[in-house]
Amino acid sequence: MADEESPRSVRARRRRQRQRGIWPPPDALGSLPLDVLDNILSRLHIHEVVRTSALSRSWRRRWEALPTVDLLPSPGITASDVDALLLRRAATIRSFRLIASDPSWSLNTVHDWLFYICNDDVKDLVFPYWHNKLKIPSRLFSCLELTSLSLSFCCLPHVPVGFAGFSNLKVLYLFRVDFQSHGGRELATLIAASPVLAEVTLVKALLSGDGHDDDWVIRAPNLRRLIIGLGGEYGGRTEILPRLEEGCLCGPNYAKFLMGMAQVTKLSFYCNSILSTEVDVLQRLPFLFENLRSLVLQVNYFNMSHILAIFCLLRSAPVLEELDIWGWSKGTREIEANDEFLNAHWIDHMFAKLHVVRMRNISCLNNEMHFIEFFLSKARVLQVLSVTLAPNSLCSNKEAIVDITEYARASPDAQVIFMGRELESAIEILRHITYGEGGWIMVMDVCLFTWMTDNNDHEGEAMLDDHICIPIAWICVVVAGFVPSSLMICASREEPPPPKSVVRENERELKKRQ
């Protein structure tokens, strides 16, 4: 085999060719327009972008002028790597994504990065810091071109007087973000100053100085998706949100936020403690949810306020098609939810279009079984009612099947599907771990994550055992780039298939009854 040419020989040969008028073929990659080239490179991780330097002479230093810096995910990246990357920049940054999860990174260093990144041209900023509370520089409010902002574990400065607003901001995600004094009003001011805001996610935000009776208003005429899981009993309310399609409320004293959600098509309502005052709010709703197709609820079947809250929402949803109820039975049973009680709260238009009911975390106690019988006997177009037993349920699949198959059914097409125990279903979900394109995508439950961070001293660390064992609802919240790899769990919003052992047991039991 012939020896390969040395670099010196290659250069000499090319020099002789040029002297003879023989020019190398044009560089097809180098002839691409810069906007096309940047569009290609912006879709790659920064590590891959740097490696493209070997493809073409004109690409050799192009990464230094690329307007996007995507460091999601970046296992093993060091602070010096980020420093070197930013120092080599030859252009302002328009998009920056980094999970600052290394505890060895100093707070001052991370602050300096943010100060450098916050320029007049930045449009997309994803910057979660998972350790000490990071003070965001006030320079953030000069980034008037922002279209997407995601921050975690940080303290926001006061919104400056005369703030021009984020006129282009469409997506706002805040997790464990502290607002200073009059935090509710600061939050409301920030949202109101973003007129085209379409998605807002607020999880475990600290609204300093805000009490349950403080009056501040969320005004967002273009909002389509709102998730509030603040974790505290704060004040505030929503003005009418005319374009809202999806809402998720997780926390105490949150029924009041429903007042502006009349147009919602998907609603998740999780309140571990529902007071009688919240039931009063629900009973006084001045409208029906005329577009609501999907409703997810969390309920304590022993608690009177919880049961009354369920009926308030069901009576207000005349076109409801899918209902998910994550239940538990805890404390002293305040009411026997028997046929007489349930029928007293029934009205004619309830369940008129209901065709799917999912009962999760069932222990087969009396009130739970009464509700299952109630849905089967009243939903005239019901197609599927699925039952998933609680991990600690003393009731077996066989016992549940025997009881439920004896219930009368208003719909001739209604099928009852037993999904096994909640533990088995959680394992099935964990088997479908995936990664999204262009970065890490996490689909997880706001309530579950809220519970985890409340009960874990090491916030953000892996708690996979609790993901399996906690019998609490999972709402699909899609957030890009704020969770460390230990929490990267993707669960389909659709029901996972029941375990094969459960399917076989159901089939055997049905054959016996035939």
218, pLDDT greater than 90: yes
Whether residue 479 contacts residue 330, with contact meaning beta carbons closer than 8 Å, is answered with no
In the chain, the amino acid numbered 260 is: G
Per-residue model confidence as pLDDT tens digits over 147-165: 999 998 899 999 998 898 9
What is the reported pLDDT for 464?
A: 31
Rounded Cα distance, 511 and 401, in Å: 12
Of the given ranges (159-163, 361-365, 425-429), which has the lowest mean pLDDT? Answer: 425-429
Q: Can you name the residues that pair with 229 across neighbouring β-strands?
A: 203
Of residues 123 and 230, more confidently modeled: 123
Q: Name the percent of the chain lying above pLDDT 70.
A: 76
What token pair was written down for 297? 């609820």
What is the reported pLDDT for 385?
A: 95
Q: How far is CA 173 from the centre of its chain?
A: 9
Looking at the chain, how many residues does it have? 514
Whether residue 205 contacts residue 184, with contact meaning beta carbons closer than 8 Å, is answered with no
> pLDDT band at 263, cuts 50/70/90?
very high
Helices 276-283, 304-315: crossing angle, 10 deg rounding: 10
> pLDDT band at 472, cuts 50/70/90?
very low
- Candidate ranges 68-72, 236-240, 291-295, 340-344; pick with highest mean pLDDT: 291-295
State the DSSP code for 129.
Answer: B
Per-domain residue ranges of the chain: 19-65, 441-487
Is residue 444 within a helix (H) or strand (E), and if so which, with residue range?
Answer: strand 441-444
pTM, two decimals, is 0.76
Phi and psi based region of residue 439 (left: phi greater than 0; alpha: psi -120 to 50; beta: remaining): left
211, pLDDT greater than 80: no
Whether residue 159 contacts residue 131, with contact meaning beta carbons closer than 8 Å, is answered with no
What is the reported pLDDT for 425?
A: 46
Whether residue 418 contacts residue 498, with contact meaning beta carbons closer than 8 Å, is answered with yes
In the chain, the amino acid numbered 330 is: K
Q: Name the percent of the chain lying above pLDDT 90.
A: 31
Per-residue model confidence as pLDDT tens digits over 26-63: 566 666 777 787 777 777 777 777 777 777 776 777 77
Of residues 398 and 488, more confidently modeled: 398
Residue 372: closest CA among 306, 331, 412, 417: 417
Of residues 78 and 184, more confidently modeled: 184
Residue 216: closest CA among 274, 159, 162, 272: 159
What is the reported pLDDT for 15?
A: 75
Q: How far is CA 363 from the centre of its chain?
A: 28
123, pLDDT greater than 50: yes
Residue 165: closest CA among 195, 135, 139, 136: 195
Q: Summarize the confidence of residues 490-504 as an average pLDDT.
A: 42
> pLDDT band at 446, cuts 50/70/90?
very low
> pLDDT band at 431, cuts 50/70/90?
very low
501, pLDDT greater than 60: no
3-state secondary structure of 510: helix
